[in-house]
Structure 1
């Protein structure tokens, strides 16, 4: 907690001294700049842009579809006292370039659907979050805490409207794999 307070102080971000660690982390996340990765700079030198996928977002990660395919193959063969390691190796060995292409094409289709929906997916995200044990008519603790933090910091931030664009996004050319 002392490290977080030190970082906030070094970056001239005011905070109330009684704030607890979760509130301090919210502040840090709000003001800490995104990391700059060497690979992003290298690719930018060659006019490429890195588009990061949301972690654990199975709709947008083809590898999640491949994992699912491999698990299904293992489950179909996992009868009796068979060696699970061998079954897993066979399952992954049987996954073809065509399987990868199909998974990637499926993800591209989902991406296009998300882009066609526009920002509503992100603007309405609070309506999609299930809050267990909360009264739906009351203000959530996280909203209240965020407002308290903004008041303590004294920062009135305005979000610029975010308009996603798929312009310039490149996909792996599967012809290179064959």
Structure 2
């Protein structure tokens, strides 16, 4: 987490996050998770009648996936998507893009169109609606690029690469090899555009991506952990219908106080990262200054020795 790439990602993310917080943007965090029909306590469970048993399953079985949004007021219930899946295919890009499209449409209808006409003192004005941002992570199904920005592949036939170059207005000689065409294409790749962002733009909604491998900055992680604990404590039938019902119960009962505590915890994590990154930068600067002084001292000593030799 202390590599230059991670530090730079955090700095960029925090700068954008501070900006949207300050301008009054409505912010939602997104995440997916899944749970099995066999979810139960780690060691032993006891039901309301005081009866129980030692854990006998591995917590496996048929699986449900859930995709949702959360902010300080709790879950955004109209956008919650719970669906049956298997362990290998819990989510894919097509399902996610369809969910993004439906959710952005609902959000824009709920919080106003991209612009609304308002009347003030007998005059009509064109006023822009509330700005909305969805914060997502970098799961592979969140990062599918648009067809026009996908790079050509080595598995493509030569003519397909030629067509790609023509479509992107890249000039090429007619007698060059497939390898040369690929190199030419790779040196002229367009800036990546992601399908999720492009779909959200239709509804004037922005997507902000978390730094890679920074799930601690997503309050949904706390929500999912508590939801699964709730399910495991109460799951006695071990069916998809039962775990679905328990998940819905927990989601419905999550209030603004609990949701706000998740947001506050994430803000504490943000502050810790910021402080650590600033400290690391200051230490590096001090070490670099020390190295510069040491090099100057060595240079001065060498110069003095040379002067003595000349004498």
TM-score (norm 2): 0.27
Q: Which has the larger radius of gyration?
A: 2
Structure (1 or 2) with the greater helix fraction: 1
Relative contact order, higher structure (CA 8 A, sep 6+): 1
Structure (1 or 2) with the greater strand fraction: 2
